[in-house]
Amino acid sequence: MRVNLIGAYGEFVAGMLGEGPGKLSYRNPRFGDVDSWRAEARAKVLKLLGQPQVEAPEVEVIARTIVDGVEVERLRWRLPYGPPTDAVFLKPQGAKGPLPGIVALHDHGGLKYFGWRKIASDGGPLHPLLQEHQASDYGGRPWANAIAKRGYAVICHDTFPFGSRRVRIAEVPEAIRRGDVRDVSEAEETSEVQAYNQWAAEHEHVMSKSLFAAGTTWPGLYTTDDQVATGVLAAREEVDAARIGCCGLSGGGLRTVMLGGLDDRIQCAVCVGMMTTWRDVVLDKNWTHTWMMWVPGLPRYLDYPEILGLRVPKPTMVLNNNEDPLFSLPEMQRADRMLREVFEKAGASDRYACRFYPGPHKFDLQMQADAFAWLDQWLKR
């Protein structure tokens, strides 16, 4: 066995995945009818996720403004778990609808203090850490505003446990605090934010253990958050609920895999910088990933790209970067082959697209242009 993350145990553990399609893979020869397969596979995924049951919340409008031709509403709602959710709703200035909708999914990026502010703007000052983040990952702009200006109604919300949904230091025992970390002040001093983000990274394994012990999962909670936001968007009078898409980079790509694969309201999905296989994760790359990714037991039934494949034949795009350090390029390419097989078997080859770009982990302006064009193709009908 070659060198791998768990040494002499690697061959055994990787062997548990098997060489062929998983038990509930649509590539498995025992499946034919796509609808009956999807029902069985989704039911298993949903059982493993352990999602909480929630009702549609009441939504409060906090503020309204106009930013460079985009109307922005600051929203807030409360779920049965955690702090209230802050969000923004964006649409072209003066637009009445019905508009196609986008659920814009923010990334992880090691920046748990921030959520929607990573990819959207309400016209307020941009924190220096977000300036750096947008410059390195997003071509220097808030892409949610850019696609709203293009003719979409967009919702962008803080998901569990980011931004307004983050864990506060004062709410955890002193034993797991750090002496140099305090809850961030209103001034949002960079040193305070950086200290919080470091603590939040170290807290991930604590969070995951508690969730697993309770019979739920990290994806179970953030996918519920994201489905609630989808419902908030779909309920808007300016929105055509039959034309909703989702898109996100990195952690937002992971959220796209889950939301796009499990929620039929998502008619078009674009996953950016978050596609590989479970084998890549087992042997080489789990250390590059957040605890947000794990659903115990799921890899025996579906490979990672096949979670997104649960949406077949609905339009689906995957954008990868060739030098992305989070993944192995051969496994990104193998994930592409898996999804192509799924869409081909369903007779929907024209509804799947995958592209590879030079460079590191990012969703730059060229990638945004390609993603927006794909969303236009399928949602602006």
pLDDT by residue, tens only, the chain of 381 residues: 699 999 999 999 999 998 889 999 999 999 999 999 999 999 999 999 999 999 999 999 999 999 999 999 999 999 999 999 999 999 999 998 799 999 999 999 999 999 999 999 999 999 999 999 999 999 999 999 999 999 999 999 999 999 999 999 999 999 999 877 889 999 999 999 999 999 999 999 999 999 999 999 999 999 999 999 999 999 999 999 999 999 999 999 999 999 999 999 999 999 999 999 999 999 999 999 999 999 999 999 999 999 999 999 999 999 999 999 999 999 999 999 999 999 999 999 999 999 999 999 999 999 999 999 999 999 997
CATH assignment at residue 277: 3.40.50.1820
Helix axes 218-234, 190-213, angle to 10 degrees: 110
> How far is C-alpha 1 from the chain's CA centre?
33
Q: Are residues 16 and 160 in the same domain?
A: no
Contact (CB, 8 A) for 49 and 224: no
pLDDT at 147: 98
User: Which amino acid, one-letter code, is at 100?
Assistant: P
Boundaries of domain holding 183: 60-94+110-231
Are both 270 and 175 inside the same structural domain?
no
Domain presence at residue 105: no
CA distances in angstroms from 370 to 152, 229, 321, listed in the order given:
16, 25, 14
User: Which among 199, 175, 21 is positioned nearest to 111, based on CA atoms?
Assistant: 199
Residue 100 lies in a domain: no
For residue 21, cis peptide bond before it (omega within 30 degrees of 0): no
Instruction: Return the SS3 of 1.
Output: coil
**Residue whose token pair is 């969070």:** 207
What CA–CA distance (Å, rounded) separates 334 from 330?
6
Asked whether 102 and 153 are in contact (CB, 8 A), the reply is yes
Ramachandran class of 347: left when φ > 0, alpha when ψ lies in -120 to 50, beta otherwise:
left
Please check whether residue 119 lies inside any domain of the structure.
yes
Structure tokens at 141: 């702009």
Residue 81 covered by a domain: yes
**What's the pTM?**
0.97
Q: Are residues 197 and 68 in the same domain?
A: yes
